[in-house]
C-alpha cells in the first residue's frame, strides 16, 4: 500500500473514503470533524443527537456526501472515552475504519490523524499508530487460495494522512514512514508463521532470512551441522535428531552505530513444526504447531525493521530453526545432552524442546558481549492458562531491562506481565544424572521453565518472554485478522528505539 501525507483541508480531499472521528460523549463535533460536519449540513451531529452513533472505540458509520465534498464516502470512527485515549486506541480506531473501507469497496482512503490534534499525542507517534493499525488490520495471506472476488482481493491501494497544519506535516511523514516499515515487518513475520511446515523447513526459513538480510542490509550467517557440531551445540542437535530436515541456526546483525554503541541480542525459538517428539502431542491441535517458530519469526521481523529504520544500536538476532519429530533417531526421555556452554541436561519430556534449543542459543549470545539479551518463545501451556491472550509472561534477572520491556509493551499494546524468578524454582529442576532436568513437572511450570533458561545465560542482563498465547488468534480482533499476530516485532522495535534515545 502507498502511504502519503497531504497538507490540506479534509473538505477538499478526493478519496473513495474519508475518515474522521468522534470521542464518546461529544455532541457537537469540533476540529476537522466539525468542519466536515458543517460541509455536510450537520449530518454527523444529527447522527449523534438521534442516538445512531455513540463514539464507542472502533464503532463506525458510513455517510454518503452526494457531491457536498469531493470524497465519495465519509467514515466516522469512534475513539472511545477521551480520558482513556492512547496510542493503542489510535491503532484500533484506524483498524476499524480501514476494515469498513474495505467492506464498502474503497480503493483509497484519506484520514485525519487520530490524536494528533485533540487527544494529546505527539504527531509522529499518532501518525505511526494510524498507519500500523491500518496496515496490520488489512493483512491477508492468500498465497495458496484462488481469489474468490477479484475486486475485493485488490484491496486498498493508497492511504493518505491529511493534516491542515503545514508545520506538522514533516512530523507526520516521519511517523507514517516508521509505521509503514514496522507494519510491513510485522506482516513479514506473519507470513513466515502462516507458511505450511512442508514449505517452511529450517533450510527454507534460513534462505528467506538470507534474502531479507540482503534486501535490507543486514549481515547474515547460517550455521549448519558442521558448525553446530564444532561449537558443541549438542542440546540443539539432540532435538533435531528425529527429523530429516537438518537444523539451521540463523545469525543476523545490524550495526547501526558501530562498536561503540550498546549491543542488544534478540533470541527467538524456531521450532518449525513440533510433534512433541517421542512424547507425542494430541492429534486434534497438532496442526497449530506450525506456529512454534513464531518467536524466531518475530526476531527476523524486528531485525528487518531495525535495519530499515537504521536504529543506532548494534542489534543481533539469533534464530535456531529445528524440527521436532519422532523416529528411530529421535532423542528420548532420560537421554542426557551436553550443550555449547558445557552444561548437561537430562531429558524428561521431549515435548519440552523449545527451551533446549534456546539453551544453546543463549550460550551463543554471550560471544557478542551484549548489554542485554531477550529471548522470545512459544514455550508453555502454563502461560496460556495464567495470562490468556492478553499479555506475555516476562521473567528477567535485571530490573532495568524488565522496566524497558514493560514500557515498550505499554506503548505498543503488546503487553507483558512480569513474574518472579525465585531461586526456590531451581529445586524442581534438580537431576540425579545431569546438572538440570528439562522440565520441573506440572506445578510452577511457567517459572521453572524460565529458571531452566537462566541456567544457560552467561553473565549478561537477560529477559525471557513466554508468548504461547499471543502469537495466534482463532478469530479476528482489532487489527489482528484470524491467524498469526506477529507479536513481538513491534515490542522489540519500540524497545530498541527507546533504548537508542
CATH number at residue 216: 3.40.630.10
Task: List active site positions.
Answer: 281, 355
Residue 137 sits in the same domain as residue 243 = no
**pTM (2 decimals)?**
0.97
Cell triple for 159: 492511504
Residue 154 sits in the same domain as residue 243 = no
Residue 389 sits in the same domain as residue 447 = yes
Residue 456 lies in a domain: yes
Domain boundaries, position 296: 195-500
Residue 391 sits in the same domain as residue 249 = yes
Q: Which of 150, 183, 216 is the last residue of a domain?
A: 183
pLDDT tens digit at each of 501 positions of the chain: 999 999 999 999 999 999 999 999 998 999 999 999 999 999 999 999 999 999 999 999 999 999 999 999 999 999 999 999 999 999 999 999 999 999 999 999 999 999 998 778 999 999 999 999 999 999 999 788 776 554 445 578 999 999 999 999 999 999 999 999 999 999 999 999 999 999 999 999 999 999 999 999 999 999 999 999 999 999 999 999 999 999 999 999 998 667 789 999 999 999 999 999 999 999 888 999 999 999 999 999 999 999 999 999 999 999 999 999 999 999 999 999 999 999 999 999 999 999 999 999 999 999 999 999 999 999 999 999 999 999 999 999 999 999 999 999 999 999 999 999 999 999 999 999 999 999 998 888 899 999 999 999 989 999 999 999 999 999 999 999 999 999 999 999 999 999 998
Residue 442 sits in the same domain as residue 381 = yes
Residue 190 lies in a domain: no
Exposed, middle or buried by CB within 10 Å (0-12, 13-18, 19+), for 36?
Answer: buried
- pLDDT given for residue 147 in this prediction: 63
DSSP H helix total and E strand total for the chain:
15, 20
Residue 174 sits in the same domain as residue 85 = yes
Residue 179 sits in the same domain as residue 208 = no
Residue 129 lies in a domain: yes
Residue 292 sits in the same domain as residue 380 = yes
Q: Which of 128, 156, 183 is the last residue of a domain?
A: 183
Residue 189 lies in a domain: no
- CB 178 within 8 Å of CB 125: no
Residue 220 sits in the same domain as residue 179 = no
Q: Which of 183, 211, 235 is the last residue of a domain?
A: 183
Three-class DSSP labels, 213-252: HHHHCCEEEEECHHHHHHHCCHHHHHHHCCCCCCCEEEEE
Residue 317 sits in the same domain as residue 224 = yes
CATH code for the domain in which residue 155 is found: 3.40.220.10
Q: How many residues does the chain have?
A: 501
> How many CB atoms sit inside 10 A of residue 220's CB?
17
Residue 170 sits in the same domain as residue 214 = no
Residue 244 sits in the same domain as residue 387 = yes
- CB 476 within 8 Å of CB 387: no
Domain count across the chain: 2
Residue 188 lies in a domain: no
- CB 174 within 8 Å of CB 485: no
Residue 89 lies in a domain: yes
Residue 161 lies in a domain: yes
Amino acid at each position: 500500500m502507498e502511504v502519503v501525507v497531504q497538507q490540506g483541508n479534509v473538505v477538499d480531499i478526493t478519496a473513495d473514503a474519508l475518515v474522521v472521528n468522534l470521542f464518546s460523549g461529544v455532541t457537537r463535533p469540533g476540529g476537522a470533524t466539525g468542519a466536515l460536519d458543517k460541509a455536510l449540513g450537520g449530518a454527523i451531529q444529527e447522527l449523534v443527537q438521534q442516538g445512531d452513533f455513540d463514539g464507542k472505540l472502533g464503532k463506525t458509520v458510513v455517510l454518503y456526501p452526494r457531491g457536498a465534498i469531493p470524497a465519495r464516502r465519509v467514515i466516522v470512527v469512534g475513539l472511545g472515552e477521551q480520558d482513556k485515549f492512547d496510542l493503542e486506541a489510535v491503532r484500533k480506531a484506524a483498524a476499524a475504519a480501514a476494515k469498513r473501507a474495505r467492506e464498502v469497496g474503497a480503493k483509497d482512503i484519506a484520514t485525519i490523524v487520530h490524536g494528533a490534534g485533540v487527544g494529546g499525542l505527539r504527531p509522529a507517534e499518532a501518525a505511526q499508530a494510524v498507519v500500523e493499525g491500518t496496515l496490520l488490520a488489512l493483512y491477508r495471506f492468500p498465497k495458496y487460495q484462488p481469489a474468490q472476488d477479484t475486486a475485493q482481493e485488490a484491496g486498498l491501494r493508497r492511504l493518505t494522512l491529511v493534516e491542515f497544519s503545514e508545520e506538522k506535516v514533516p512530523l507526520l511523514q516521519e511517523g507514517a514512514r516508521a509505521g509503514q516499515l514496522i507494519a510491513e515487518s510485522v506482516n513479514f513475520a506473519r507470513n513466515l508463521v502462516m507458511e505450511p511446515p512442508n514449505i517452511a523447513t529450517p533450510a527454507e526459513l534460513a534462505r528467506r532470512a538470507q534474502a531479507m538480510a540482503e534486501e535490507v542490509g543486514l549481515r547474515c550467517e547460517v550455521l549448519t551441522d558442521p558448525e553446530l557440531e564444532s561449537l558443541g551445540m549438542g542440546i540443539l542437535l539432540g532435538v533435531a535428531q528425529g527429523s530429516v530436515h537438518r537444523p539451521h541456526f540463523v545469525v543476523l546483525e545490524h550495526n547501526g552505530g558501530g562498536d561503540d554503541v550498546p549491543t542488544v541480542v534478540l533470541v527467538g525459538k524456531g521450532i518449525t513444526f513440533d510433534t512433541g517428539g517421542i512424547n507425542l502431542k494430541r492429534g486434534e491441535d497438532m496442526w497449530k504447531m506450525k506456529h512454534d517458530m513464531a518467536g524466531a519469526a518475530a526476531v527476523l521481523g524486528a531485525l528487518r525493521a531495525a535495519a530499515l529504520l537504521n536504529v543506532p544500536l548494534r542489534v543481533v538476532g539469533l534464530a535456531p530453526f529445528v524440527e521436532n519429530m519422532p523416529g528411530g533417531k529421535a532423542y528420548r526421555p532420560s537421554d542426557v545432552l551436553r550443550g555449547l556452554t558445557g552444561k548437561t541436561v537430562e531429558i524428561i519430556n521431549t515435548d519440552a524442546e523449545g527451551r533446549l534449543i534456546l539453551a544453546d542459543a543463549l550460550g551463543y549470545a554471550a560471544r557478542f558481549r551484549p548489554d542485554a539479551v531477550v529471548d522470545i518463545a512459544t514455550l508453555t501451556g502454563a502461560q496460556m492458562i495464567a495470562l490468556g491472550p492478553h499479555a506475555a509472561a516476562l521473567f528477567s534477572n535485571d530490573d532495568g531491562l524488565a522496566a524497558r520491556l514493560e514500557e515498550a509493551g505499554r506503548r505498543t499494546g503488546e503487553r507483558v506481565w512480569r513474574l518472579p524468578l525465585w531461586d526456590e524454582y531451581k529445586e524442581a529442576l534438580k537431576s540425579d544424572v545431569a546438572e538440570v532436568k528439562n522440565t520441573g513437572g506440572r506445578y510452577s511450570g511457567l517459572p521453572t521453565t524460565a529458571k531452566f533458561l537462566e541456567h544457560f545465560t552467561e553473565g549478561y542482563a537477560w529477559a525471557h518472554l513466554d508468548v504461547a498465547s499471543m502469537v495466534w488468534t482463532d478469530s479476528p480482533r482489532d487489527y489482528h485478522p484470524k491467524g498469526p499476530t506477529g507479536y513481538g516485532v513491534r515490542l522489540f522495535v519500540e524497545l530498541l528505539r527507546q533504548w537508542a534515545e
